[in-house]
Amino acid sequence: AVLKKRLVKLVVNFLFYFRTDEAEPIGALLLEHCRITKEEENVFSISFVEEPERKYCFECASEEQCQEWVEALKRASYEFMRRSLIFYRNEIQKMTGKDPLEQFGISGEARFQLAAPKH
């Protein structure tokens, strides 16, 4: 694999990457169904569950920086799923009048709390 210098920017759950001399991104990775792995002390990889052969490796300046990226990327993908869940849960409740998570015994779970209905 050839090492290329890239600037990367995380926006919600998209990781954009840029050439160092250009303002427009040359690509983006959607952090869905992906696995973020710390490979070596300052290298991490992003691979995709549906396409295991598609793997991107990133080398950071330091191990600390690498750890920060790994955590930020894992959080990004989780945050997005959590927000989607809350949104769909609201929609289903509006349509059916029932909380779709109740049957799983997690209706009171604070992490997935619904906003109070406005009267």
CA distance 107 to 102: 5
Q: Tens digits of per-residue pLDDT, 29-60? A: 988 888 999 998 999 999 988 887 889 999 99
For the residues 94-118, what does the mean pLDDT come to?
A: 68
User: What does the block give as tokens for 51?
Assistant: 């396409």
For the residues 60-73, what does the mean pLDDT come to?
A: 93
CA 21 centroid distance within chain: 26
pTM, to two decimals? 0.66
Are 76 and 83 within 8 A, CB to CB? no
What are the angstrom distances between the C-alpha of 104 and each of 97, 100, 108, 114?
A: 16, 8, 11, 16
7-79 fold: PH-domain like (2.30.29)
For the residues 76-105, what does the mean pLDDT come to?
A: 83
Percent pLDDT > 70 in the chain is 87
Q: What is the pLDDT of residue 118?
A: 52
SS3 79: helix
- Residue 88 parent element (H or E): helix 63-96
SS3 109: coil
Q: Residue 116: pLDDT band by 50, 70, 90 thresholds?
A: low
Residue 82 has pLDDT above 70, yes or no: yes
